Structure 1
Amino acid sequence: MKALSIRVRGQVQGVGFRPYIWQLAREFGLRGRVLNDPEGVLIEAAGPGLDGFLDALPHRAPTLARVDAVEVSDFSGALPEKFEIAASRGTGAETRVTPDAATCPDCLAEIRDEGRRRGYAFTNCTHCGPRFTILHGLPYDRAQTTMAGFTMCQDCRAEYADPADRRFHAQPVACPACGPRLWFEAAGREVPTDPIATAAALLRVGSILAVKGLGGFHLACDARNVGAVALLRARKRRPGKPFAVMAREADLAMIVQATDADLALLRDAAAPVVLMQGTGALAEGIAPGIDTLGVMLPYTPLHHLLLDAFGGPLVMTSGNLSGEPQVIGNDEARIKLSAFADGFLMHDRDIARRLDDSVERAMPPLVLRRARGRVPGTLPLPPGFEDTPQVVAYGGQMKAAICLLKNGQALLGHHLGELDEALTWDAFRQADADYAALFDHRPALVAVDLHPDYRATRHGVTRAETEGLKLHRIQHHHAHLASCLAENRWPLDGGKVAGIVLDGTGLGPDGTVWGGELLLGNYLGCARRAWLKPAPLPGGDRAAVEPWRNALVRLDQAGLSDWADTLFPAQNRALLRQAIAAGVNAPMSSSAGRLFDAVAACLGLCPARQSYEGEAAMRLEALSTAAMPWPFDLDGGEIDPAPGFRSFHAGLWPDLASTAGGFQIGLAQAFAHPARALVETGEAQAIALSGGCFQNAALLHHTLQALEGLPVLFHRSTPANDGGLALGQAVIAAAQHNLAAEAS
């Protein structure tokens, strides 16, 4: 009888794939075996139903599975008389790792019903629960996770060993008799009471609770209590940055205007924070000056139990000192969070790696922060990259993330943060070593940003020199363009595209600071075809913190210096103008991000200082309404906003909202017009939109409107901001390597 070896590649470990194969093989009358190995899942089988089995295999896979490829070859070895699940083979990592997944309906019902797992905060099965946050190594077996120290009781072992049970080989399987333990503590000591009930009571009186989750600690408080929210802000020294909220689905209608697309994203196994229109029902201090709320559903049994006991929505924000990475260890939490929290909801299952919550929009689909639930999911590389060597790319200084290329896949790592912060820098280096070891990654190429002083750049240069690897320095905005192309699987030979790249700052090849660019190019290179008229960045990095500085230089350029003096009377304008005239710490920049800051400052939106990155632009977006577009001049490729400022000063818009809306519409049209021309003349085959400014849903909408009828690529599953930069760097390095290899 014919026997086959069937290799299944993709996200097929830790998702119930082997029991699925076992059941499918029995249905089709096969004998043989299925097992995990470093490349994924291997099936060795024989029987008259092989053809039907192969047809059904990719189409009936478990919910969390992602089948990338099914490879079939003849098998001549011995097979068992029945079909069995065999022990894992080999070491190494050639397969994908499943991200952490939100509690499934079956497990949720179990913790609420009578039975041995009623009220158990660590209930899970093959369809849900921790994965990446507990994993030490591959293959994905219990001994390689932080569950290794918890010996299964007889009941759990029976479930684990039964191929017909949904907990068959669920590595974190546990129950109150044998698994992790939950407790409440205050003042450094455990309180011998019901931990969930005690925590809920603490929250009801307006206190702050530290909660140990999947990827780290959160700080929680009553989202309807103005005083509690103010207390949390005061303790965290976080005056304005929006807080995320966790709410039960039954409470959503009270707090947000959720669309069907919003609900679908909220219910996704990744359980991200979803940005939605708020109703105003929660404490005003949750998102000052912003009309959207970031809301997530409970995604672990612990969260479900806590929200059920509390009976309403909670602020659920990262447990960390300002600027530092999220706390993950119990002792670390006691040291660092005691000044913030009045009590702790603790447990004894270790977190292998910290992961912040992912942040996304449903419509238009946008990923602002790629983290828990999405990582380490991989992206297939576009056609033409099949023979790409292994590559590591290190991203930029802000919103740091690492990208690995291997086996035709790109693994864009989790959000790490700003590398200026020492502990984030430590976390970056740890993540580099962690990913390399976990995925058995041995790069031939290293890709870094063109800016020589970025910490990520210096790290990549040092590694390349130390290990004798080929180094590729990639211009910042070219990397943004390529990241959009790669996500959209634009072929290596797909032709040139017009890339509208709008962001804060990035070093240009001419030595100036870029940030508002229209590029024509592909993976191999690009040329600048239009750009925002450069203006000084007075004070260098301080210009990104104090919006009035950007307003002053743009108004001076527009011949409106007297108006600038009226708008900013308390600022030291004369000294700043002297520094600009002398060229002291005032590099020229085409930054679209700083133009947003300038307009916001003119509208009175946090002109003196931003309390967090992007505050002025976010408030501008929230304020805006549809209006007549601002005029921009296009002269020899230079896009000049001065006419818009002069029109603003002349009173062409009746109020702040129409002024803000008119600016964003005008900016979208100013870049869309020359981009459209590149497609219509045949120089470009499509248009790509990238850069952090395209996190702004209004700007993205207006740009898509202005490009209607043309092929447009934009980010849906990777960040448009610097969190996606490493993906672009990696594919550019791979393309350049492939070209050099062909030439030789």
Structure 2
Amino acid sequence: MNSNTAMTSERWHIAIGGLVQGVGFRPFVYRLAKTCNLSGWVLNDSHGVQIEVQGDRQQLRNFLHKLRKDKPPLARISSLTTESRPPCPETNFRILNSDGDTPPSATILPDLAPCPDCLREMFAPDNRRFRYPFTSCTQCGPRFSIAERLPYDRANTTMRDFPLCESCRIEYEDPQNRRFHAEPNACPTCGPQLQLCDANGRGVAVREDALKQARQAIEAGQIVALKSIGGFQLLVDASNSDAVLRLRARKRRPLKPFALLYPDVESVEQDCSVSDLEKGLLEAQERPIVLLAARGQARRHVAAAVAPDNPNLGVMLPSSPLHHLLIAGLQRPLVATSGNLSGEPICYDNGGAIERLGAIADLFLLHDRSIARPLDDSVVREMDGSPVVLRRARGYAPLPVELPVLPDTFSAGDLLAVGADLKNTAAISRGRAVYVTQHIGDLQNRVAREVFEQAVDDLAGFYRSEPAAVIADLHPAYVSSRWARQRDPQYLGAQHHVAHFFSCMAEHGYRGRALGICWDGTGWGADGIVRGGEFLCWDGREQVQRIAGLRTFPLPGGEGAIREPRRQAAGLLYAVMGERAFAGKFLLEQFSAGERHNLARMFERKINSPLCSSAGRLFDGVAALLGLANAVTFEGQAAMAVEFAAQQSATTRSYPFAINQHDSCRTLDWEPLVAALLQDGEQGVSVPDRARAFHNTLAQMMCAMAVRAGEENIFLSGGVFQNRVLTESAATLLRQEGFRVHCHCVVPPNDGGIALGQIYYARCMAAARTPAEEGSRQCV
């Protein structure tokens, strides 16, 4: 292109937002511009990718068409704008250095499992990356776990500690190479290396010998702590019962299921039933843990202690080159559980792991690439024909959720939401994009509180955000709410179940009238009642109204009762029968005389027995009445037992229930349900049939209230909707009545989605010019 041609051609500036960094977008643009005979440049900036192209108008149109149509597989374009610029006398197309001077809004890609090309190289003896456990390219490898700030350039990642060798630099600087600006690019000469240490941190072996000895240790029944993409995992041979039980004892995790790492999908299919959707999830580059139904023959490879009394297995495939190399030499499933003590966040730095896990692991397989932030393994389950994320972390975070377009809601600046205290995540909004942190965990734990504060600062620093407002749960005792109050005394409050409701609407991009059915374990109500069985109507403009809830019952022992479903059952029975409950079979068998005396005093004097309307606690109480769980060691254990029992029955029976009107709010009365369930037990009806009838009744309760509410669109949210039997039963029944049912997919139905809902609710209130705190307090 000569200068005369340049002066008669057109020049376009193209700004692109979305997932366009770390996916090979710039070399794609470079090659496309060359093919279209265009001059100009491309660069990364804090908003995404900026392009200027110059040439014939038809070629420019062709370039723009192919830019959208043929973009790299991992790229996602969320915005694209063009404007004319004066032509320049230039003859070539260049890739310029990144511009990082403006506040970031670009999206960083999550960490991705190895692509087929990298796997082929890693297992090819004649390749220079043969058996190198840190092989990656622009289509795979670590991203979010190593990024420290935007734009996503090597200097802004933990890979800056590894200067490129000459061979890697040639790849890195060649626009025609698939490793062009692959920021984690490395090889055995210049990149991270393995080291095997004992429980005291003393070196035992390095590189290939470290991998070999780690594999031998697992074969010998030892526990190996492996430094994975986003933190540590604890590995043992899944078929070795003694090793699994030793891990349980050391980790202080007596019954909660362990996740499993399998070498390939074929070996998974031998042990589990795998649908096409589940197979796709297993093989996807996100590499989550997928909950699958176990086959009978799974016990040949998997000890019963891996998932006690559980018909499902949590399964994942290798998520990194290191996992591929380790399990290729074992060819058997391994327990691969989070590297932490029960209740704590995952360890992610070498020194901290040896300090916190030294009493658990026999050996540590470490490497010297730093992890910028802890990322646990994500968990996904197929429900109602769709994937539902139950824990959102590695592979999914920090992909944003785009809010619907709302009038005049984004001029006030960024918002920070701090979520709830269980399964905590936080979130920051910028424009329509909401960036949700990775799963943090239970904020009652000191280490988790430190990770929470780090994650908030991390997210704010990542996007150089100074939030105009902070949003928190209305529960005054929540750690997150107290933190918000200290950070911003004028913080905005969003009621727990309202946030659940709006989190589901947010991920579906919905803003009209709707009914939210929000069922979970605990949500604070201003009236002092522990809510958790809510029906909320949103008018699509400015008001959320609580139209119904489950009948209340006392929770003897308060929060302590959650660990003893027998106490919740006692509360149910006392609510139904009063003092006569103490003469009944259940209380006589499950409580000593002294315990019954104390219970009676709590109930009569209303001491330490708050009222509860929680569906989660109803599940726990029924679990005890069915003889499935009297005490639990992890959250959801009792409810899971009821679900698993229901899976063994195909009965369509249900129990009676009542709907009572109180002013503008209705109460769903479960007393007839409990009475019929007990009567069935006396008549010898099987536990699975009673458990299934219980589920069927809850689905009918939802449908009955939906008919009365009369809203076409229904959103199901809350931790109870992690239950596949209940979710699918309710969704099927509601659809048969003509309703449009929306369930969670992108963020968890549990409290991991609360932060997203808090932001969307605040944005909707801003659009209605109603203060979020006032609006939230109207619907407690």
Name the amino acid aligned to 2:394: R
Which residue, 211, 214, 217 being the options, matches 2:229? 214
Q: Is residue 2:82 matched to residue 1:82?
A: no
Give the alignment partner of residue 552 of structure 1, picking from 570, 593, 597.
Answer: 570
Shifted more, 387-396 versus 292-301: the winner is 387-396
SS at 1:726 equivalent: helix
Indicate whether 1:104 and 2:115 are aligned.
yes
- Report the residue type matching 1:408 in the other structure: R
Q: Which residue pairs with 1:34 in the alignment?
A: 42
Q: What is the one-letter code of the residue matched to 2:388?
A: L
Verify the 8 A CA contact 2:470 2:491 in the aligned structure 1: yes
Paired with 1:112 and 1:724, the residues of 2 have a C-alpha distance of 40
Equivalent-residue separation in structure 1 for 2:700 and 2:163 (angstroms) = 62
Q: Secondary structure at the match of 1:53?
A: helix
> Match for 2:249 among 209, 215, 234?
234
Question: Displacement, 1:604?
Answer: 1.6
Q: Secondary structure at the match of 2:488?
A: helix
CA drift of 1:353 comes to: 0.3
Question: Are residue 686 (structure 1) and residue 710 (structure 2) matched?
Answer: no
Q: Which amino acid aligns with 1:473?
A: G
From 390, 398, 402, give the equivalent of 1:376: 398
2:278 to 252, 262, 277: 262
Identify the range of structure 1 (79-88 vs 254-263) with the bigger mean alpha-carbon deviation.
79-88
AA aligned to 1:602 is L
Is 2:161 aligned against 1:149?
Answer: yes
Q: Does structure 2 retain, via aligned residues, the 8 Å contact 1:632–1:667?
A: no
Query: Are 1:563 and 2:585 an aligned pair?
Result: yes
Pick the aligned partner of 2:611 from 575, 584, 588: 588
Residues 1:348 and 2:368 are matched in the alignment: yes
TM-score under structure 2 normalisation? Answer: 0.92
- The equivalences for 1:418-457 within 5 A come to 418-457=442-481
Q: Which amino acid aligns with 1:207?
A: Q
1:45 maps to: 53
Q: Tell me the equivalent position of 2:701.
A: 670
The answer (yes or no) to whether the contact 1:385–1:408 under 8 Å persists in 2 is no
Structure 1 distance, partners of 2:337, 2:322, is 16
Q: AA paired with 1:122?
A: F
State the distance in 2 between where 1:613 and 1:582 align: 29
CA contact (8 A) 1:367 1:719 kept: yes
How far did residue 354 of structure 1 move?
Answer: 0.2
SS at match of 1:473: strand
Q: Confirm or deny: 8 A CA contact 2:409 2:763 kept in the other structure.
A: no
Higher alpha-carbon deviation: 617-626 or 651-660 = 651-660
Letter in 2 for 1:219: L
Superimposed CA distance per residue, residues 615-673 of structure 1 (whole angstroms, 9 cap, x where no aligned partner): 00111111112321122211111111111221122226720111111111111111221
5+ residue gaps, structure 1, are none
User: 2:18 aligned with 1:18, yes or no?
Assistant: no
Contact residue 35 and residue 88 of structure 1 kept, 8 A: yes
What is the distance in 1 between the residues matched to 2:37 and 2:670?
71
After superposition, what is the alpha-carbon deviation per residue over 1:152-190, rounded to whole angstroms, capped at 9, x for unaligned? 001000110111111000001000000000122225322
* Partner residue of 2:124 out of 88, 94, 113: 113
How far off is 1:453 after superposition? Answer: 1.4
3-state SS of 2:185 partner: coil
Contact 2:765 2:771 in 1 (8 A): no
1:577-626, Cα deviation, whole Å (9 max, x unpaired): 2112111111111000000000101122220x211011001111111123
The residue aligned with 2:332 is 312
- Once the two structures are superposed, residues 554-588 of structure 1 have per-residue CA deviations (whole angstroms, 9 ceiling, x without a partner) of 12223372132244144712211211211111111
The AA in structure 2 aligned to 1:119 is R
Name the Cα RMSD after superposition: 1.7
SS at match of 1:147: helix
| Aligned-partner Cα distance in 2 for 1:662–1:29 | 69
> Comparing 520-529 with 454-463, which one deviates more in the overlay?
520-529
Given residue 710 of structure 1, which amino acid in structure 2 is its aligned partner?
F
Deviation at 1:521, TM superposition (A): 1.5
Count the aligned residue pairs.
731
Q: Distance in 1 between matches of 2:576 and 2:523?
A: 25
Name the residue aligned to 1:718.
Answer: 747
- 1:660 and 1:63 map into 2 onto residues whose CA distance is 45
Runs of 4+ in 1 over 6 A off after TM superposition: none
Q: For 2:538 and 2:254, locate their aligned partners in 1 and report how far apart those are by CA, in whole Å.
A: 42
Secondary structure at the aligned position of 2:175 is classed as: coil
Quote the residue 2:380 is aligned against.
360
1:167 aligns with 2:179: yes
- Equivalences for 1:628-707 in 2 at 5 Å? 628-636=653-661, 637-651=666-680, 654-679=685-710, 684-707=711-734
CA–CA distance in structure 2, aligned partners of residues 538 and 526 of structure 1: 31
After TM superposition, list the pairs within 5 Å mapping 1:270-289 onto structure 2. 270-279=286-295, 280-281=298-299, 282-289=302-309
CA distance in 1, matches of 2:700, 2:186: 57
Judged with a 3 Å threshold, the aligned counterparts in structure 2 of structure 1 residues 363 and 685 are, in CA distance, closer, same or farther, namely: closer
Q: Deviations over 1:668-719 (max 9, x none)?
A: 111221113322xxxx241111111001111100110110131111111111
Post-superposition Cα deviations, 1:485-509, rounded to whole Å, max 9, x if no partner, equal: 1111112xx2x21111100011123
- Flag the 1:183–1:80 CA change in 2: closer, same or farther, 3 A: farther
Residue-by-residue CA offset, 1:312-369 (whole Å, 9 max, x unaligned): 1110001112221111111112222121111111100011100111101134321110
Partner amino acid, structure 2, of 1:603: L
Q: CA deviation at 1:21?
A: 0.9
Note the C-alpha offset of 1:269: 1.7
Secondary structure of the residue aligned to 1:62 is coil
Give the AA of the match of 2:185. V
> How far did 1:63 drift?
1.9
Any conservation in 2 of the 1:502–1:694 contact (CA below 8 Å)? Answer: yes
Q: Match for residue 65 of structure 1?
A: 75
Distance 1:55 1:488 in 2: 28
SS of alignment partner, residue 21 of structure 1: helix
Unaligned runs of 5+ in 2: 1-8, 773-780
